[in-house]
Amino acid sequence: MGKRPEQTKTQAENQKTMREETNPIEWPGESGQFCNQEQASARIVENESQWRDLWYILQNQRVEPKIDFNKYFVAAVFLGSRPTGGYSIQFLEPKSEKDKTIVQYRVKAPGNGSFVIQALTQPYAIRLIPKPNTKIELREVP
């Protein structure tokens, strides 16, 4: 994974202003088929630095939404490179388990005979979730 290029002062100031105008409640998350993450991974994002790095991986030209990391965290799942389209990630409701909060997700593959794009894809999903007072864990479920 490459490092984000440094921004000029003007670019950084403009993006800061735009981030401040974004309400985190208006942005619950997103998913897509193309990003800059060829290896499968799942991660929890709990601060602005991690968030900017994640947004860069998404190759998103929009300014990243402003998130209050005192109240929320971001769960991100990347499926890595897949040979076709039709793959997706479904987040389930977080659940408490002893001294931690489990964020479960399910990976869906295209069905046999499905009509899907015949191109390499890098499916991903990210979701904004209220921050618990416990340790957070991502877990794939069948």
- Residue 24, φ and ψ in degrees, nearest 5: -60, -30
Average per-residue pLDDT for the chain: 84
DSSP class per residue in 22-79:
--GGG--EEEES--S--SEEEEEE-SHHHHHHHHHHTT--SPPPP--TTTEEEEEEEE
For residues 5-10, average pLDDT: 54
- Please state whether the predicted TM-score (pTM) of the whole model is above 0.85: no
CA-to-CA dists, residue 139 to 41, 68, 75, 79, 94, angstroms: 11, 24, 11, 13, 10
| pLDDT at residue 21 tops 50 | no
What pLDDT was estimated at residue 23? 46
For residues 93-110, average pLDDT: 94
